[in-house]
A and B are shown apart, each in its own frame.
Chain A
Amino acid sequence: MQNNIERYQRQLLLKHIGEGGQQKLFDAKILVCGAGGLGSPALTYLAAAGVGNIGLCDFDFVSPSNLNRQILYTPEEIGDQKAYIAKSKLEKFNPDVKITAYSEKLTEDNAGDIFKNYDVVIDAVDNFSSRYLTNAAAYKNSVPLVCGAVCEFEGILTTIVPEENTSCFQCIYPFKPSIELTSKIFGILGAIAGTIGCMQALEAIKLILGLHCLKNKVLIFNGIENTYRVRDVLKKNTCEVCR
């Protein structure tokens, strides 16, 4: 441990982390797909925890309507490419962390090559097509995936571990939505994206530490009713991805 240890003192006190756990975090490689409403908090808390190698993948540019939830960006950065701004902010926030920015769009062709370099992938994208793509690529390349998604005042979270043959995102939604249902249509409050994005960082950290995770389960958060419900996700023997 050669990093600035004092910075991690409060989490070194935790019996589930300690020096051994912190070393695992320093050595960990976590990729966040999407540096938006979910990715901003997820990336920030991964960097805060001292995750040594963080990849972030986003091809988009900052626009004014991002700013109600994408807390990595400011009005001066409108029009700039998110991947590079996020990288420089996170490096300043925690110089112990090595950040790799990917500014290209994830496709079936490049996803596997990128995912293979990481211990955990966080799916923080903003649409169903990309979610099916990251789910399939994670399963194919045997990389654990933390899926989080939000819409209006609701959020969902699930953790997929291909090596343990768990159920996957497509087991939850085997029939694709007939129209693309995004926050562009339904709207989203920043605090909802922040809640689920933080939980994604937490799941990824727990995967690295070998702690209990939301495998074969989905957490459904309703911010209006203040409910968190966890239910089983049954693996479908008809699932194209994980069967």
Chain B
Amino acid sequence: MITVKINGQNKEIKDNTTVADFLKDNNINPIEVTVEYNFEIVNPENIADITLTNHDTLEVLRFVGGG
């Protein structure tokens, strides 16, 4: 297991988890969110290419645009 800071809170997740895996495991539809990985916004096309490592930081923010 590794520890990743997700939306400000430390969470334990499995080794070799990609950003895409993380979203899937948490029932998050990738087209509904913006992901910031270690303070860089991830191009949605690349979420399967990033494997989370110990002490990474991940921010997952929904597209909130209504009014």
Contact = CB atoms under 8 A, between A and B. Distances in A.
Interface of A: 34, 36-39, 124-128, 131, 148-151, 154-156, 172-175, 177-184, 186, 188, 193, 218, 220, 229, 231, 234, 236
Nearest to A221: B64
B67 A193 contact: yes
A175 B39 contact: no
B26 interface: no
Give the top 4 A-B pairs by smallest Cβ distance, nearest first.
A183-B66, A126-B67, A128-B65, A38-B67
Could you say which interface size class chain B belongs to?
10 to 19
Contacts of B32: 177, 181
B26 to A, nearest CB: 15
Contact of B31 (A37, A172, A174, A179): A179
A131 B61 contact: no
Contacts of B31: 177-179
B28 to A, nearest CB: 13
A177 B63 contact: yes
Contacts of B63: 128, 151, 173, 177, 181
Contacts of B17: none
A174 to B, nearest CB: 5
A184 B66 CA distance: 8
A149 B66 CA distance: 5
Given A172-B34, A229-B8, A149 B61 contact: no
B41 interface: yes
Contact of B41 (A124, A156, A175, A188): A175
Given A173-B34, A229-B7, A229-B8, A154 B64 contact: yes
A183 B64 CA distance: 9
B27 interface: no
Contacts of A124: 67
Nearest to A234: B39
Given A175-B44, A177-B31, A229-B8, A182 B61 contact: no
Contacts of B66: 37, 126-127, 149-151, 181-184, 186, 188, 193
8 contacts: A36-B67, A149-B65, A154-B64, A172-B34, A177-B32, A182-B65, A183-B66, A236-B41
Nearest to A200: B67
A174 B61 CA distance: 12
Contacts of B39: 234
Given A178-B44, A179-B31, A236-B41, A231 B64 contact: no
Given A151-B64, A193-B67, A229-B8, 4 more contacts: A39-B67, A177-B63, A188-B66, A193-B66
